[in-house]
Structure 1
Amino acid sequence: MGALDTRPPESVEPVPPPDPGGSRRGRALPWLVLGAWLAVLLLALPFAGRLGDATADEGVAYLPDSAESTEVARLTELLPGGDTTDLLLVQQRPGGLTAADRELAGRRLAEIAERFELTAGGPGDAGLTSADGATALYPFALGELAEEARAEAVGEIRELLAGPPAGLTMALGGGGALGVDAEAVFESIDVTLMLATAGIVALLLVVTYRSPLLWLVPLVAVGVAAVAAMAVVYGLVRLFDLTVTTMSSSVMTVLIFGAGTDYALLLVARYREELRRRPAAGEAMRAALRGCGPALLASSGTVSLGLLCLLAADLNSSSGLGPVGAVGVLCALAVMVTLLPALLVLLGRGVFWPLVPRFGAPAPAGRGSFFARLGSSVSRRPVAILVAGSLFLGVLSLGALRLPGPLGELDNFTDRPDSVRAMELVADAFPERSGQPITVLADAEHAARVVELALATEGVAEAEPARAGGGWREIEVFAADPPESAGERATVAALRERLAELPAARAVVGGPTAQAMDLSSTSARDQLLVIPLVLLVVLLVLGVLLRSLVASVLLLAAVVASWGAAMGLGGLVFGPVLGFAGLDPQVPLLSFVFCVALGVDYGIFLMHRMREEVLGGVSTRAAALAALRTTGGVIASAGVVLAATFCVLAGMPMVVMAEMGFVVAVGVLLDTFLVRTYLVTSASWLLDRRVWWPGRLARRPAVPVRAGGVG
């Protein structure tokens, strides 16, 4: 995480004589900073509260900007009836539906028609019965409704369908019900995520600091950063029409709590050291900021630049996540270098009670000795440790071969809502016909010809015109193969190829399966573009900080290996253990960006500390052990906090969040406790001064070092 000053007391600059004028200014500054942040908080709160209303979770927000299926989704909303709520009443009785069952469906549809304006279906609709007579579905559509009214309508209809006779299942499905259930899940995520993340961070801070008060100070600072970030993001939405989804706002929350707490851990650790060296809290904090400032700037800069690389992605949710995440990290940085220091200085040494750092007291022995022992083992067996660790990561990476296939639309939720269960009944009973057809939009003048071409396409079972308006005609196409199967995907591809033969029709193909195909192909293209861009940006940052190509490549390779191993472990866990039916196409790219941008910070911290030691006159091998000893404890704590915050995502009810949270958390832990501690240190030991090539430190004569210690 950059040039954090962890030099032992004897290497720190002498304490300057007291300056009465400076002391007065120093006492006033924390109050001014606190007042400024209170003003910011008062201004930001109203705008932060509006971010939830500005999030976009409709299908288009999670689709590629330039995809054909995205154009269909946008145009469909503009057609007459595009804002209708399409629903399916599904009945099922094992052994076959009875006449009484069908009469009940007719009564329920009549009651629905009495309460709501129907634009399709309703009383008198004979419905569609499965071949075995056990399942029937009745499609109908409600007129245009606002979002809240739509949710209320779906809830009322479900109440009407509740309590069917014994043996009969009645459920509500269709695109409208799926949308309402998805929105309910999204609304539940914000509060749950915030409370869970705050609780975990609070617990870890209490364990780390062992103080009844100190843990609360960073938590308050993180909360202020979260409010400020939400207000800034809301402003970006209004000014630049930025796409912000629930997923991106959730990730921003996790980043603020994780990265912000990491910054607090580094600052407080350095401040505690300075309090033992300096008599006044203000002086100690200024010294701590001088030491931590480059580290925090390097950390936030690396993460922010890595996230901004996502702007190059074509996927709307991914490209929007870049600036949203960067805002969160930068707000966390701003608070941790201004508000947190002010609060700590105003509270004085007593905030550390009962472990109060006294002026002139020696630093207590603790984690440094533990990491010194680890360094001793590295110096005795560097080759064995490097080879064994690399093989371990390589074997874990092979698990990626077992990653599940693409995630289907009905498999997006970890807990299946009612609408998903209804659609599963439809899929089982009508494998030849999806409840949500392939949607084709074409120029109205050529609609008849488009229907002919669709019917002539291999794999198409039915094609019929539907809504029209604005010069467009909607055509519903049903594949012969089950929904979202390989056969239906082949049908979509063949349909697009066939309709391209009639360019005048301007036909575009959409629908759930087409969207999944476009999402998968666009994600693959985004990976080919964004991943090299992230690697290049991070490599440049490392090169500037470390002035070494070898060290930069070493750190970059290490975090990529951590990500590969984490993805491999996901392949062993997602399907067999967690029961996920597929891998969301966004997970590889987003987890890569987070694992590399966040993980490389810990490597920067270790390597930059090594560089400081070498500049101080010790050998590279001695510097590697000293860096591990002095940085091990605080970075281990930071890694655990960051991983824990991403573990909260793994508990969310959306599969994409759970998968991404798992991969990033595992990647951070691997980097913290294996890659940084053992592999980077052992590789640096073996490379010796060559690790600094082509910098001037590579040309320094080697200094002998005793095995297991600093020479």
Structure 2
Amino acid sequence: MSLTTRRARWLVPVVLLIAWLGIGGALGPYAGKLGEVATNDQASFLPRSAESTKVIDEQRAFSQDESVPAIVVWTTKGDAKSVQPEATRALASLTDTPGVTGRPSPALVSDDGAALQGVVQLRPDLGDELAPVLDRIRATAEKVPDTTVGIAGPAATQADLSDAFAGIDGLLLLVALITVLAILLLVYRSLLLPFVVILGSVFALGLACAVVYALADHDVVRVDGQVQGILSILVIGAATDYALLLTARYREELASRDDRFAAARAAVRQSWGAIVASAATVALGLLALLLSDLTNNRALGPVGAIGIVCSVVSALTFLPAALVLCGRAAYWPAKPRTGDAQGATGGIWRRIAHLVDTAPRKVWAFALAALLACAALAPTLTSKGVPLDETFVDDAPSVTAQRALGEHFPGGSGNPAVIITDAGPLQKVVAAARDTEGVASAAPVSRSGRPGGEPYVVDGRARVDVTLASAADSDDAKETIARLRDAVGSVPEADALVGGYTAQQYDTLRTAERDRSLIVPVVLAVIFLVLVGLLRSVLAPALLVATVGLNFLATLGVASLVFTHVFGFTGTDPSVPLYGFVFLVALGVDYNIFLMSRVREESLRHGVREGMLRGLVTTGGVITSAGVVLAATFAALSVIPLAFLVQIAFIVAFGVLLDTLVVRSLLVPALVRDIGAKAWWPGELSRKP
């Protein structure tokens, strides 16, 4: 080989490495800037076509200035009436406070005489200034003697959410990277390669965040704290998984040839199909969320797909370039040498393959029985929403205040249901609302924005505030909303709409149920088609889809037990099962793709039986390592103290481990071994011995 040719061979990896270093340097900071374009305004993520969303649109006409309420709650061991004048004066003194809009309400005494409440309306655009404004309100309220002060309501909840997501740019990413690095050091027993893999995943994350930042800044996609956190974890986990597959294949190739360039080309050629197919299942599964009527679900679809694409690009460009430049030194101090045994062929996987080969029916029967037993508990997982006092893993100030509010005032105080109706039959609508079971009170809203006085009419429409007897986040309150809609909907010519916090929760629950019935079959169909194209078979893809579906149900069954008896959750967010399904089914198929694509490759060379065993042995170590890495990265979501993310973290982490250690290691290989060549029907392998 001439000197010119040898130099030219180095040009491509060097250029690729320089390009990625430029991308990392220029776009890396966007991984910490995504919070600048993120919003945690929960009203922005309601069902687009729901009745409660329409109420929000009409409700704006009744406010000269849009506002977000903060509810000040005083509790006292004495007589609350004795401090009512001072509480009212304290509220009135907040009128000209920066961030406060309008005049705060007077302090109202609870029926039991042990508490007071008052409402302070805040500007909705305070952003980072919200917490200081709430601190000033609290400091003023604490001047009322012999009382304990709390702040509840949407403004306080929004502030606590911002605090919960405050560490998402730094803490979450740091925990995920340290966890992955520690696992990689154990897996590779190399000092250099884990850092190369981590660097590639960080580059992928920087690129993904830069693309998402640009799209969110131009209102093409919407990002909230949950989507932001999931994006980071998804990119780090996926990029590392793809890197594990490629580096394992590169090590195999280095063990059979001296030329690092030829080894890298062979590794990419043999791995890219499985990597791209795996990424396609996840990306297309995420894009199926665009069919959702919930805006935050729709937001996760394209954002997650962008992250997966960036992970694949990094794995197939940066990583091969880095491996070529490092050569065998990448695996130091255990450099693979020509003629060495393949790194993935560990003794434990030979024993597992022997067990699958000699007793396939017993193996798959045992694995299937265990999964079915766990899946039988799946219906016990409640997905009717998380009560406000369980939204945060640790008690947040807004939750404590809301609990105090509920103890002394009607359960729905501070979060009224809102009726928007034609003004003509207004009194009939109010009467129908008051007569509805579960309603504590109902009154038209005056021009001041509060009940009492002459009803405020805008364009022939009026607003009625309805206080529910039960806590606004309870199942009883949601049932009251359904009855309330029936009651006011039957008033002739009222065209009444029912919204407010509880109605939003009710509509979100109904929409989530509709989303699951639509998106689940779409995701399964998409994954099935990808597998058919990759494996050139129909029966094997159907088998893989069925097994990962069963793994998902088994995970939900275990999650139901753990959430109830370990974490103490009474339910999950309505979106948790859908998120869990998309991640577990799409990511679970990843490992089966890694396995079965190698099995197909080996079967074409050595026959179906031998190909199954060789594929299991050669991929066993790398796929298990990938599963552990992905489970660990998703488990890192639990550092954000929100029930939703803790639940997603457990479901995905446990489900990935269950899929890796049981479904991919035992169930699928044993079924394919037992079925034999027919498993590959109608492809050419179905006709091989």
TM-score (structure 1 length as normaliser): 0.90
Unaligned runs of 5+ in 2: 450-455
Q: Is 1:44 aligned to 2:27, yes or no?
A: yes
User: Does 2:110 match 1:149?
Assistant: no
Q: Determine which of 241, 251, 259 is the counterpart of 2:230.
A: 251
CA contact (8 A) 1:120 1:142 kept: no
Alignment partner, residue 50 of structure 2: 67
CA distance, structure 2, for counterparts of residue 683 and residue 648 of structure 1: 34
**Is residue 379 of structure 1 aligned with residue 379 of structure 2?**
no
Compared CA separation, residues 143 and 539, structure 1 to 2 (3 A)? closer
Is the 2:603–2:609 Cα contact (8 Å) retained in structure 1? no
After superposition, the Cα gap between the structure-2 partners of 1:39 and 1:584, relative to the gap in structure 1 and judged at 3 Å, is same
Alignment check: 8 A CA contact 2:256 2:340 kept: no
What secondary structure is seen at the aligned counterpart in 2 of 1:533? helix
Name which of 136, 151, 161 aligns with 2:116: 136
1:504 Cα deviation after fit: 4.7
SS in 1 for 2:168: helix
Q: Equivalent residue of 1:616, what SS?
A: helix
Q: Which residue of 2 aligns with 1:513?
A: 502
Q: What does residue 562 of structure 2 align with?
A: 573
Q: AA paired with 2:67?
A: T
Q: Counterparts in 2 of 1:107-506, with a 5 A limit?
A: 108-113=90-95, 115-116=97-98, 117=100, 119-122=102-105, 125-131=106-112, 133-142=113-122, 146-161=126-141, 168-239=147-218, 241-358=220-337, 360-363=338-341, 367-404=345-382, 406=384, 407-443=386-422, 447-466=426-445, 467=449, 471=459, 472-502=461-491, 504-506=493-495
**Which range moves more in the overlay, 540-549 or 407-416?**
407-416
Q: What's the secondary structure of 2:119's corresponding residue?
A: strand
- Which one-letter code corresponds to 2:664 in the other structure? R
1:320 Cα shift?
1.3
Report the Cα offset of residue 617 of structure 1.
3.7
Query: Which one-letter code corresponds to 1:561 in the other structure?
Result: L
Q: Secondary structure at the match of 1:574?
A: helix
Instruction: Report what 2:452 is aligned to.
Output: none
Q: Which residue of 2 aligns with 1:527?
A: 516
Structure 2 SS opposite 1:509: strand
Q: Displacement of 1:401 after TM fit?
A: 3.4
Range moving further from structure 2, 297-306 or 468-477: 468-477
- The partner residue of 1:603 within 580, 592, 596 is 592
Q: Following the alignment from structure 1 to structure 2, what is the Cα–Cα distance between the partners of residues 118 and 464?
A: 23
Contact 1:196 1:648 in 2 (8 A): yes
CA positional deviation for 1:390 = 0.9
CA–CA separation in structure 1 for the residues paired with 2:458 and 2:221 = 28
Are 1:663 and 2:651 counterparts?
A: yes
Residue of structure 1 equivalent to 2:667: 679
Decide whether the 8 Å contact of 1:81 with 1:143 is kept in 2: no
Q: Contact 2:204/2:311 (CA < 8 Å) preserved in 1?
A: yes
1:106 offset after TM fit, Å?
A: 4.4
Shift of 1:127: 1.2
For 1:330-359, what per-residue CA distance to the aligned partner results, in whole angstroms no more than 9, with x for missing partners?
00111111112222323343232211223x
Uncovered stretches (5+) of structure 1, i.e. residues with no partner: 1-17, 703-711
| SS of equivalent to 2:151 | strand
Structure 2 CA distance for partners of 1:82 and 1:557, relative to 1, 3 Å:
farther
Q: Which has the larger displacement, 170-179 or 462-471?
A: 462-471
Q: How big is the shift at 1:446? A: 5.3
Q: Which amino acid aligns with 1:32?
A: V
Larger CA deviation: 397-406 vs 295-304 = 397-406
**Is residue 353–residue 613 contact of structure 2 (8 Å, CA) maintained in 1?**
yes
SS of equivalent to 1:258: helix
SS of the aligned residue for 2:255 comes to: helix
Contact conserved, 2:115 with 2:408, CA < 8 A, in 1? yes
Structure 1 counterpart of 2:110, which letter?
A: T
- Aligned amino acid, residue 685 of structure 1: R
Greater shift, 75-84 or 313-322, is seen at: 75-84
Q: Indicate the residue corresponding to 1:55 in structure 2.
A: 38
Q: Which residue of 1 aligns with 2:16?
A: 33
Of the three residues 592, 608, 632, the one matched with 2:620 is: 632
> Quick one: distance in 1 between partners of 2:57 and 2:326?
55
Structure 1 pair 36–364 and aligned structure 2 pair: CA distance change class (3 A) = closer
For 2:546 and 2:570, the matched residues in 1 are separated by 31
C-alpha deviations, 1:488-532, integer Å up to 9, x for none? Answer: 222211221233235754432112211111111111111111000
Given that 1:48 and 1:234 are in contact with CA atoms closer than 8 Å, whether structure 2 keeps it comes out as: no
C-alpha separation in 1, matches of 2:492 and 2:171: 49
For the 8 Å contact 2:13–2:325, the answer to whether it is kept is: yes
From the superposition, tell whether residues 19 and 308 of structure 1 become closer, same or farther in structure 2 (CA, over 3 Å). Answer: farther
CA, structure 1 residues 555+525, in 2 after alignment: closer, same or farther (shift >3 Å)?
Answer: same
Q: Which moved more, 1:521-530 or 1:547-556?
A: 547-556
Query: Could you tell me whether the CA contact under 8 Å between 1:306 and 1:534 is conserved in 2?
Result: yes
CA-to-partner distance for each residue in 1:57-100, whole Å, 9 max, x for gaps?
21233321211112223443564255323122212234x43666
How far apart, in 2, do the equivalents of 1:696 and 1:353 lie?
Answer: 41
Q: For residue 118 of structure 2, what is the amino acid of its counterpart?
A: Y
Q: Which amino acid in the other structure matches residue 361 of structure 2?
A: V
Structure 2 contact 603–612 (Cα < 8 Å) conserved:
no
For the 8 Å contact 1:548–1:694, the answer to whether it is kept is: yes
| Cα distance per residue 1:448-501 (max 9 Å; x no partner) | 443343234343332122245763533211123343334322221122123323
Q: Does 1:652 align with 2:627?
A: no
Cα gap change, 1:617 to 1:427, in 2 (>3 Å): same
Cα deviation, residue 329, structure 1: 0.6
Aligned counterparts of 1:429 and 1:608: Cα–Cα separation in 2: 63
Report the Cα distance in structure 1 between the residues aligned to 2:130 and 2:457, rounded to whole angstroms: 23
Percent identity at matched positions? 38
Are the aligned partners of 1:61 and 1:243 in contact in 2 as well (CA < 8 Å)? no
Shift of 1:296: 1.3
- Looking at structure 2, the residues matched to 161 and 367 of structure 1 have their Cα atoms a distance apart, in angstroms, of 68
Aligned counterparts of 1:668 and 1:279: Cα–Cα separation in 2:
36
SS in 2 for 1:137: strand
User: 1:139 is matched by which residue type in structure 2?
Assistant: V
For each residue in 1:552-603, what CA deviation from the matched residue of structure 2 results, as whole angstroms up to 9, or x when unmatched?
1111111111111110011001121101132110011111111111111111
Q: Aligned letter for 1:84?
A: S
Q: CA, structure 1 residues 216+97, in 2 after alignment: closer, same or farther (shift >3 Å)?
A: farther
Tell me whether 626-635 or 103-112 shows the greater mean CA deviation: 103-112
For 2:348, the aligned partner's letter is F
Aligned-residue CA RMSD (Å): 2.5
Distance 2:597 2:404 in 1: 59
Q: Amino acid of the residue matched to residue 671 of structure 2?
A: A
Q: TM-score, normalised by structure 2?
A: 0.92
Moved more, 683-692 or 436-445: 436-445
Structure 1 CA distance for aligned equivalents of residues 593 and 329 of structure 2: 33
Question: In 2, Cα distance between the equivalents of 1:249 and 1:99?
Answer: 47
Check whether the contact 1:64–1:314 (CA below 8 A) recurs between aligned residues: yes
Change (3 A) 1:396 1:208: same
